Amino acid sequence: MSLSIKDDEIDIVIGALRPDLTSFMNEWRTIFSRFHLIIVKDPDLKEELKIPEGFNLDVYKKPDIDRVVGTSTSTIFSGYSCRYFGYLVSRKKYIISVDDDCYPAKDNKGILVDAVAQHITNLTTPATPFFFNTLYDPFTEGADFVRGYPFSLRSGVQCALSCGLWLNLADYDAPTQALKPEERNSRYVDAVLTVPARTLMPISGINIAFNREVIGPALLPSLRLGGEGKFRWETMEDIWSGMCVKVVCDHLGLGVKTGMPYVWRNDRGDAIASLRKEWEGVKLMEEVVPFFQSVRLSREATTTEDCVAEVANVVKEQLGTKDPMFARAAKAMLDWVKLWKSVGSST
Amino acid sequence: MAEPATATQAAAPVVALLKDELDIVIPTIRNLDFLEMWRPFFQPYHLIIVQDGDPSKTIKVPEGFDYELYNRNDINRILGPKASCISFKDSACRCFGYMVSKKKYIFTIDDDCFVAKDPSGKAINALEQHIKNLLSPSTPFFFNTLYDPFREGADFVRGYPFSLREGVPTAASHGLWLNIPDYDAPTQLVKPLERNTRYVDAVLTIPKGTLFPMCGMNLAFNRELIGPAMYFGLMGDGQPIGRYDDMWAGWCTKVICDHLGLGVKTGLPYIFHSKASNPFVNLRKEYKGIYWQEEIIPFFQQAVLPKDCTTVQKCYIELAKQVKEKLSKVDPYFDKLADAMVTWIEAWDELNPTGPVPNGKAA
Q: DSSP letters along A7-75, please?
A: GGGEEEEEEESSSB-HHHHHHHHHHHTTSEEEEEE-TT--SPPB--SS-EEEEE-HHHHHHHH-TTGGG
Residue A283's H or E segment, with its range, is helix A271-294
- Least reliable range by pLDDT among B104-108, B280-284, B313-317: B280-284
**CATH T-level fold of A8-345:** Spore Coat Polysaccharide Biosynthesis Protein SpsA; Chain A (3.90.550)
Strand ranges (DSSP E) for B148-191? 170-179
Question: B300: how many CB neighbours lie within 10 A of its CB?
Answer: 18
Judged against a pLDDT cut of 70, whether residue B7 lies above it is answered with: no
Which of A173, A185, A288 is opposite residue B158, by nearest beta carbon? Answer: A173
Residues of B with CB below 8 A from A294's CB?
none
Residues of B with CB below 8 A from A153's CB?
297
Residues 6+ positions from A93 with CB-CB distance below 8 Å: A9, A10, A211, A212, A213
Contact of A84 with chain B, judged by CB distance below 8 Å, is answered with: no
The alpha carbon of A311 is separated from its chain's Cα centroid by a whole number of angstroms, namely: 18
Q: Does some domain include residue B90? A: yes
What is the overall mean pLDDT for chain B? 94
Q: Does some domain include residue B25? A: yes
Q: Alpha-carbon distance A157 to A159, whole Å?
A: 6
Q: Strand A36-41 vs strand A10-16: parallel, antiparallel, or unpaired? A: parallel
Q: Taking residues A253-265, what's their average pLDDT? A: 98
Q: Phi and psi of A105, rounded to 5°? A: -100, 170
Q: What is the DSSP letter of A341?
A: I
Verify whether the Cβ–Cβ distance B210 to A232 is below 8 Å: no
Judged against a pLDDT cut of 80, whether residue B6 lies above it is answered with: no
- Closest chain B residue to A262 measured between Cα atoms? B146
Judged against a pLDDT cut of 50, whether residue B177 lies above it is answered with: yes
Verify whether the Cβ–Cβ distance A132 to B206 is below 8 Å: yes
Q: Are B151 and B269 in contact (CB under 8 A)?
A: no
Bond before B269 cis per omega within 30 degrees: yes
Q: Strand A94-98 vs strand A192-194: parallel, antiparallel, or unpaired? A: unpaired
Q: What is the pLDDT of residues A56-87, one digit of tens each?
A: 999 999 999 999 999 888 889 999 999 999 99
Judged against a pLDDT cut of 80, whether residue A177 lies above it is answered with: yes
pLDDT of amino acid B276: 82
Q: Alpha-carbon distance B89 to B8, whole Å?
A: 32
Q: Taking residues A269-285, what's their average pLDDT? A: 80
Q: Does some domain include residue B158? A: yes
Which residue type sits at B261?
Answer: G
Number of domains in chain B: 1
Residues in chain A: 347
Q: What is the pLDDT of residues A8-20, one digit of tens each?
A: 899 999 999 999 9
Q: Does some domain include residue B218? A: yes
Question: A4: how many CB neighbours lie within 10 A of its CB?
Answer: 7
Q: Are A240 and A332 in contact (CB under 8 A)?
A: no
The alpha carbon of A341 is separated from its chain's Cα centroid by a whole number of angstroms, namely: 20
The alpha carbon of residue A132 is apart from the nearest alpha carbon of chain B, in Å, by: 5
Question: A324: how many CB neighbours lie within 10 A of its CB?
Answer: 10
Q: Alpha-carbon distance A89 to A13, whole Å?
A: 10
Task: Give the predicted TM-score (pTM) of the model.
Answer: 0.94
Residues of A with CB below 8 A from B162's CB?
282, 285-286
**Sequence-distant contacts of B73-78: CB under 8 A, at least 24 apart:** B75/B50, B78/B351
Percent pLDDT > 90 in chain A is 82
Helices (H) then strands (E): counts for chain B: 10, 9
Q: Does some domain include residue B11? A: no
Residue span of the structural domain in which B70 resides: 20-300
Confidence of residue A282 (pLDDT cuts 50, 70, 90): confident
pLDDT of amino acid A279: 74
- Closest chain A residue to B212 measured between Cα atoms? A132
Judged against a pLDDT cut of 80, whether residue A2 lies above it is answered with: no
When comparing pLDDT for B20 and B12, which is higher? B20
Conformation bin of residue B159: beta by default, left when phi > 0, alpha when psi is -120 to 50: left
pLDDT of amino acid A346: 56
pLDDT of amino acid A229: 83
What is the overall mean pLDDT for chain A? 93
Contact of A239 with chain B, judged by CB distance below 8 Å, is answered with: yes
3-class DSSP state of B83: helix
pLDDT of amino acid B354: 74
Q: Are B191 and B284 in contact (CB under 8 A)?
A: no
Q: Alpha-carbon distance A19 to A50, whole Å?
A: 6
What are the domain boundaries of chain A? 8-345
Q: What is the pLDDT of residues B137-158, one digit of tens each?
A: 999 999 999 999 999 999 999 9
**Interface size, chain A vs chain B, as Cβ–Cβ contacts under 8 Å:** 167
Q: Alpha-carbon distance A212 to A219, whole Å?
A: 9
Confidence of residue B2 (pLDDT cuts 50, 70, 90): low
- Closest chain A residue to B199 measured between Cα atoms? A190
Which of A170, A195, A242 is opposite residue B146, by nearest beta carbon? Answer: A170
Q: Does some domain include residue B110? A: yes
The alpha carbon of residue B353 is apart from the nearest alpha carbon of chain A, in Å, by: 34
Q: Does some domain include residue B79? A: yes
Rg (CA), chain B: 20
Q: Taking residues B297-311, what's their average pLDDT? A: 97
The alpha carbon of residue B211 is apart from the nearest alpha carbon of chain A, in Å, by: 6
Q: Does some domain include residue B134? A: yes
- The CATH number covering residue B97 comes to 3.90.550
Q: Are A278 and A234 in contact (CB under 8 A)?
A: yes
Verify whether the Cβ–Cβ distance B119 to A188 is below 8 Å: no
Verify whether the Cβ–Cβ distance B196 to A142 is below 8 Å: yes
Q: Alpha-carbon distance B156 to A221, whole Å?
A: 24
Q: What is the pLDDT of residues B210-260, one digit of tens each?
A: 999 999 999 999 999 999 999 999 999 899 999 999 999 999 999 999 999
